[in-house]
């Protein structure tokens, strides 16, 4: 499945909504107060649109007249997609205004007819006057603006001048607006009348998991028990992911629903999870999103927080080059600013990335006699203290008699190897042939133990042209080398050469 085909932004359904009672209470208090604007901020795909829908739903039930503006109806995606942000489009604005007026006219005959020759701001000001004094006199009227965070800064200001300012001249109108962090409302009539509301990721309990995230997954899979079971099996493999990110929770449910075969022999690997998950949060803009993902994966393993100079030193490039690498991550809100020059991977995303990395260890076992797969997995899981579902069979590229390849967590693989080396009685019937490293772990080892010159010598010894490997940093060269070896069935050769060049390093787990 193409990563770009999975859209997690599904239409709002009350039955699927997991209540954010604290934030909803804050919205109630804002409505009861005198401030005119409630700005709702959060990272992409963490629930702003659904929260605005839930607030509108409750306000409607309490007699508030709610009008809805979706910025996507007034704008076009960027082309080329340099930052993932949109621009206002005059034709789309006119189409939206025509539709907006037609919808209002169904409930209020005083709304003026759409005039394509009229200034948008003039029409909006007239509409604002009519809805306050003639359509719903004495009523509380609230204008919801969704997806405001999708506009470029300059285009957000154009929207304010043409539409928000014109509505805001009616002092009784209230506004609920979805924005990104540090995006400002500069509308003159609304200055000093803003209440900010931040939607955080879902809170964890004492067990380290988000109860609301669990409720969300149960709601999304309630109608499909088969999907629910498969999602649970995937979550069992994503040890360490705490269900705190609403967008990633939705991604996992939709992923299984769209790919019924996921539970079969072609189960996705960690790298596939990552690429598809990150695409689903926000379409990745660069020409080579894999490079951006590789950097994100590296930073996730590097530190919880960092300054760009530390990343530059780790990559072996200048600070300017490191900024160029990191900027797409920041533009796509996968990396967020903490203080002046300190950054971190967005909460929830960081845990998901690290959990996905943990599922990439494969173990090849050659048994002394044929053993049924179910019995083999049960024996191993009992020996190392994990659930049978934490170990999966991987189809061998070149099937060999009594050779079985399994995929499990790194800690479980380490323990299994230790027990084998110590001749633990529970493994007496098994002969472990070799433990191979998946690329996510291998590229860290190679990056740590080979400098650029040593890497060039290693590549040459494999009879591969170093200059033909894409990437202009050592890390990207290593990633491309591993991909090349995977494509051509030469991972064993790569490990063997690494062992020859760096014999003091264990190239087995």
pLDDT at 439 over 50: no
End-to-end CA separation in angstroms for the chain: 31
Q: SS in 3 state form for 340-360?
A: CCEEEECCCHHHHHHHHHCCC
Residue that wins the pLDDT comparison between 473 and 451: 451
Least confident of 221-235, 281-295, 351-365, 431-445: 431-445
Using DSSP bridges, classify how beta strands 65-70 and 141-146 pair: parallel, antiparallel or unpaired: parallel
Q: Picking from 96-105, 139-148, 321-330, 417-426, which range would have the lowest pLDDT averaged per residue?
A: 417-426
CA distances from 424 to 363, 380, 444 (A): 17, 12, 30
Beta strands 430-436 and 75-76, pairing class: unpaired
Q: How far apart are CA 486 and CA 425, in angstroms?
A: 35
Three-state SS across 476-509?
HHHHHHHHHHHHCCCHHHHHHHHHHHCCCCCCCC
pLDDT band at 435 (very low <50, low <70, confident <90, very high): very low
Q: Is the pTM of this model over 0.85?
A: no
DSSP assignment string, 117-177: TS-HHHHHHHHHHHIIIIISTTS-EEEEEE-GGGB-HHHHHHHIIIIIHHHHTSTTEEEEE
Asked if 397 and 415 count as a contact pair (C-beta separation under 8 A), the reply is no
Q: Which helix (H) or strand (E) holds 418?
A: helix 410-421
Strands 141-146 and 173-179: parallel
Q: Report yes or no: 316 and 473 within 8 Å, Cβ to Cβ.
A: yes
If you count DSSP H runs as helices and E runs as strands, how many of each does the chain have, helices first?
20, 14
Burial (CB count <10 Å: 0-12, 13-18, 19+), residue 98: middle
Residue with tokens 């540090």: 182
> Smallest Cα–Cα separation from 58: which of 100, 14, 18, 16?
14
User: Can you tell me the distance from the alpha carbon of 65 to that of 131, in angstroms, rounded to the nearest whole number?
Assistant: 10
Q: Tens digit of pLDDT for each residue in 113-137?
A: 888 888 999 999 999 999 999 999 9
What is the model's pLDDT at position 410?
A: 57
More confidently predicted of 433 and 466: 466
Task: Over range 43-49, report the average pLDDT.
Answer: 88
- CA distances (Å), origin 307, targets 96, 318, 320, 322: 43, 13, 13, 10
d(CA 385, CA 478) in angstroms, rounded, equals 34
Q: What is the mean pLDDT of residues 444-451?
A: 78
Q: What is the pLDDT of residues 60-111, one digit of tens each?
A: 999 999 999 999 999 998 765 545 678 999 999 999 999 999 999 998 888 8
Is it the case that residue 170 has pLDDT exceeding 50? Answer: yes
Confidence of residue 507 (pLDDT cuts 50, 70, 90): confident
Asked whether 84 and 78 are in contact (CB, 8 A), the reply is: yes
């Amino acid at each position: 499945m193409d990563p770009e085909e999975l859209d997690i932004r599904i239409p709002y359904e009350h039955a699927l909504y997991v209540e954010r009672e604290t934030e909803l209470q804050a919205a109630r208090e804002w409505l009861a107060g005198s401030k005119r604007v409630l700005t709702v901020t959060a990272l992409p795909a963490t629930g702003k649109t659904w929260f605005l829908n839930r607030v509108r739903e409750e306000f409607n039930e309490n007699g508030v007249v709610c009008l809805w503006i979706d910025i996507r109806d007034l704008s076009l995606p960027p082309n080329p997609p340099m930052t993932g942000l949109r621009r206002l489009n005059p034709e789309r604005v006119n189409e939206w205004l025509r539709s907006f007026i037609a919808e209002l006219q169904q409930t209020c005959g005083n709304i003026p007819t759409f005039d394509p020759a009229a200034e948008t701001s003039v029409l909006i000001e007239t509409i604002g006057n009519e809805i306050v004094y003639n359509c719903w006199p004495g009523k509380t009227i609230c204008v919801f603006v969704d997806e405001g965070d999708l506009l470029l800064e300059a285009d957000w200001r154009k929207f304010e001048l043409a539409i928000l300012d014109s509505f805001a001249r009616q002092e009784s109108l209230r506004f609920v607006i979805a924005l990104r962090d540090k995006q400002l409302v500069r509308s003159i009539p609304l200055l000093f009348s803003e209440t900010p509301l931040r939607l955080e990721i879902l809170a964890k309990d004492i067990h380290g998991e988000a109860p609301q995230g669990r409720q969300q997954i149960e709601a999304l899979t309630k109608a499909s028990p088969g999907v629910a079971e498969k999602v649970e099996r995937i979550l069992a493999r994503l040890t360490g992911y705490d269900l705190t990110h609403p967008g990633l929770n939705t991604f996992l449910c939709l992923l299984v629903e769209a790919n019924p075969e996921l539970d079969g022999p072609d189960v996705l690997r960690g790298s596939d999870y990552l690429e598809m998950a990150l695409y689903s949060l926000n379409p990745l803009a660069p020409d080579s999103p894999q490079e951006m993902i590789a950097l994100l994966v590296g930073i996730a393993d590097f530190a919880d927080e960092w300054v760009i100079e530390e990343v530059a030193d780790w990559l072996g490039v200048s600070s300017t080059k490191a900024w160029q690498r990191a900027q797409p991550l920041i533009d796509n809100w996968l990396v967020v600013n903490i203080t002046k020059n300190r950054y971190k991977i967005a909460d929830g995303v960081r845990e998901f990335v690290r959990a996905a990395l943990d599922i990439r260890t494969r173990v090849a076992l050659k048994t002394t006699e044929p053993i049924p797969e179910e019995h083999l997995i049960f024996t191993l899981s009992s020996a190392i203290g994990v659930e049978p579902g934490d170990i999966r069979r991987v189809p061998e590229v070149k099937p060999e008699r009594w050779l079985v390849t399994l995929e499990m967590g790194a800690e479980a693989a380490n323990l299994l190897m230790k027990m084998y080396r110590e001749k633990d009685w529970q493994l007496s019937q098994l002969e472990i042939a070799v433990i191979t490293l998946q690329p996510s772990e291998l590229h860290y080892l190679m990056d740590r133990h080979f400098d650029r010159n040593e890497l060039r010598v290693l590549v040459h010894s494999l009879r591969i042209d170093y200059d033909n490997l894409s990437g202009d940093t050592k890390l990207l060269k290593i990633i491309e080398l591993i991909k090349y070896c995977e494509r051509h069935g030469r991972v064993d050769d790569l490990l063997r050469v690494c062992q020859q060049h760096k014999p003091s390093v264990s190239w087995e787990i």
